[in-house]
Amino acid sequence: MRLELGLLLVLIALFVVSLTVGPANVPARDSLAALFDPGYGPLTLVMQEIRLPRALLAIIVGAGLGLAGASMQGYLRNPLAEPGLIGVSGSAALGAVLAIYSGLAAGASLGLPLAALAGALVGVFLVMTLAGPRGGSLTLILAGIAISALAGALTSLVLNLSPNPFAANEIVFWMMGSLADRSMTHVWLALPFVLAGIAIIATTARGLDALTLGEDAAQTMGIDLGRLRLLLVFGTAAIVGGTTAVAGAIGFVGLVVPHILRPLVGARPSRLLWSSAIGGAIMLQLADIAVRLILPERDLKLGVVTAIVGAPLFLHLIFKTRKELP
Amino acid sequence: MSLLSVKNLGVTLRNRTVFEDISFSVPKGEFIGLIGPNGAGKTTLMRASLGLLPHTGNSTIAEMSARDRAHAVAWMPQSREIAWPISVERIVALGRLPHLGAGQKMPPQDQAHVDAAISRLGLDAFRARAASRLSGGEQARALIARSIAQDTPLLMADEPIAGLDPAHQISTMQVFSELAKEGHAVVVSIHDLGLAARHCTRLILLAKGGILADGKPRDVLTPDLMAEAFGISVWHEETEQGPVFQPLEVVS
């Protein structure tokens, strides 16, 4: 519990920092006061309409991706698993890309996120149909890879056929993932999906612990594997669909965060779920602050930063693992 | 009272009949060794009677709901899977999972089961060690302790003593035998016929697509049955130190 509490304090501190970082060079105390006091005029507007949704989204998206990553690794008993594995992020991205290509994104304010959610829904339906009724994890991975590959190919096709370089540019930039210029509408759009996903995945915690000993042992400990897989896929799909819809494709959070925190929670999959949720929110909040501090005048993309930070962290973990080998 | 009753059980995998028409029952107090050559279907028989494989015929445990089954039988599969570097104590504590509510803290009486199982298998020194980093034999003992901590009337284990050193093979067989004497029943598949002869109260010989013999060890481990099932000659003697059984040579 002490670890989770510590992480939570770090997260709260980062949330406050995130609220005070931005191109409008205002003292931290003023900007925080403006959040609650309309007397600050335009600053209040900046705080409530720009910085608050951004800081909230970093928590929502990061927590969702961290938890989904921990649950996927627990389910597949593989530290390399990540939420994108079941093909939902690929199909959500395809939905969004189609919305940009067709002009739907420009035409309706929520056209893009809703198209991404529709893509995620189609993706999860296809994956569950392909994976079949029996509860094994192997068919799920195969189905996920197939859907990811297909969605990736179709995304490339859309890029290939995009009418002008601007559309292609927009698509590419969107796919890098970002939290810039999001509104409270985006928060309200993502929040129910992420909360529902977290609630669904929370019910799988015992099953994930039992799965440590393999599928046979888990089944004889009273775990219904078919139900577990269904809950896990729908929970992950809700989280990945909801977060991709508002923030684009943000990688590495679901992969790296559980990996870093695993040794600190005694490797128990159930406990890792919660610490990874907080850890994911911390990582994304940090990355989103970095985006604004490193190159404030260029629109540095969040997904690029998480990848740049995530890849070396992963390398470090590889070297650590190599040292432990005989 | 029978803890497991199997009637006319048959399994066909990929159009190959593994066995057919198998019936036996497991009463309280028995320590049953399931013996038979490789590929005879020992694992398949145990998994089918647990309801983990599609089968024909009946098994009282296979008909239970997953939740009831978890209170009726503990199962230790052959593949000794420990996915994460979790402490031995936590691995053993997983055996209490069917008895606890979601997110519930371990009550003292459940912790007592865990402690007892750890001591029984001589794992006290390993409590805090990461189970996945132990040697194969130590992992096997941790997993046996996990099954015992589940505290079910019936315990089934697939080759639980394979890979253990002689001292631990003997002490583990003694643990199973004590459990049976305490009123549980234990079914293990086993290749070491010498240990089976000394510790099991009953042997089931599975070969040639069915049960070839089922009874007291001395009635099953006969030269004729051993030649028929395994193609080996044997030396089997009642001595002052108990029954001694030694496979000798392969006979054609």
pLDDT of residue B33: 97
The shortest C-alpha distance from B77 to chain A (Å) reads 7
- In chain A, the percentage of residues whose pLDDT exceeds 70 is 99
B168 contacts chain A (CB < 8 A): no
Q: Is the pLDDT of residue A136 over 90?
A: no
Across the interface, whether the CB atoms of A77 and B103 are under 8 A apart is answered no
Asked if A267's CB is within 8 angstroms of B130's CB, the reply is yes
Domain range summary for chain A, segments of one domain joined by +: 53-324
- Does the pLDDT of residue A53 top 70, yes or no? yes
For residues A256-261, average pLDDT: 92
Indicate whether this complex's ipTM tops 0.85: yes
pLDDT of the residue at A297 = 80
For residue A265, the Cα-to-chain-centroid distance in whole angstroms is 21
Q: What is the pLDDT of residues A298-310, one digit of tens each?
A: 888 999 999 988 8
Pick among B89, B94, B105, B135 to test the A interface (most A CBs inside 10 A): B94
Looking at the complex, does the CB of residue B96 fall below 8 Å from at least one CB of chain A? no
Counting Cβ atoms within 10 Å, is residue A217 exposed (0-12), middle (13-18) or buried (19+)?
buried
d(CA B52, CA B73): 13
What's the pTM? Answer: 0.91
Query: Could you give the CA distance from residue B126 to residue B122 in angstroms, rounded to a whole number?
Result: 9
Structure tokens at A203: 């019910």
Q: Do B77 and A214 touch (CB under 8 A)?
A: yes
Name the residue with tokens 């003694």.
Answer: B174
List, run by run, the mean pLDDT of 10-residue segments along chain B (252 residues).
92 90 95 95 96 94 94 95 94 94 83 96 94 92 96 96 94 96 96 96 95 95 95 93 93 81
CB-closest option in A206, A216, A268 to B52: A216
Q: For the segment A83-118, what is each residue's pLDDT rounded down to a tens digit?
A: 888 898 999 999 999 998 888 877 777 888 899 999
CATH architecture of A53-324: Orthogonal Bundle (1.10)
| CATH classification code of B2-83+152-250 | 3.40.50.300
Q: Three-state SS across B200-215? A: CCEEEEEECCEEEEEE
Q: How confident is the model at residue A162 (pLDDT cuts 50, 70, 90)?
A: confident
Contact in structure between B23 and B6 (CB atoms under 8 Å): yes
The residue extents of the domains of chain B are 2-83+152-250
Residues of chain A with Cβ-Cβ distance to B47 below 8 Å are 216
Q: What is the mean pLDDT of residues A9-19?
A: 95
Q: Which residue of A has its CA nearest to B101?
A: A206
- The CA–CA distances, whole Å, from A290 to A10, A18, A59, A313, B164 equal 16, 10, 15, 16, 54
pLDDT at residue A324, rounded to an integer: 73
pLDDT at A135 over 70: no
Q: What percent of chain A has pLDDT over 90?
A: 56
Q: Which pLDDT band, with edges at 50, 70 and 90, does A281 fall under?
A: very high
Residue A79: predicted pLDDT: 86
**Nearest-angstrom CA–CA distance, A197 and B16:** 43
The verdict on a CB contact (< 8 Å) between A219 and B52 is yes
Residue by residue, DSSP assigns A113-157 as HHHHHHHHHHHHHHHHHHH-SS--SHHHHHHHHHHHHHHHHHHHH
B106 close contact with A: CB closer than 8 A: no
Are B150 and A216 within 8 A, CB to CB? no
| B84 to A209: CB separation less than 8 angstroms, yes or no | no
Q: What mean pLDDT do residues A61-87 have?
A: 92
Residue in chain B closest to A223 (alpha carbons) equals B66
Using 50, 70 and 90 to split pLDDT, how confident is the model at A272?
Answer: very high
Q: How far is A157 from chain B (nearest CA, A)?
A: 40
A279 within 8 A of A257, measured Cβ to Cβ: yes
Is residue A190 very low, low, confident or very high in pLDDT (cuts 50, 70, 90)?
A: very high
Cβ–Cβ gap B83/A211 under 8 Å: yes
Interface mutation target, options B81, B110, B148, chain A, most CBs of A under 10 Å: B81
Average pLDDT over residues A23-36: 82
pLDDT computed for residue A326 by the predictor: 65
Among all residues of chain A, which has the CA nearest to that of B53? A216
- For chains A and B, CB pairs below 8 A equal 77
A60 has pLDDT over 90? yes
Residue B170 · residue B137 · CB < 8 Å: no
Q: Which pLDDT value is given to residue A107?
A: 79
Residues A228 and A259: beta-carbon distance below 8 Å = no
CA B61 to chain A, closest CA, distance in angstroms equals 10
Q: Are residues B87 and A223, on separate chains, in Cβ contact within 8 Å?
A: no
pLDDT at A37: 84
Tokens, residue A210: 């039992």
Instruction: Of A52, A9, A18, A17, give the one whose Cα is nearest residue A34.
Output: A52
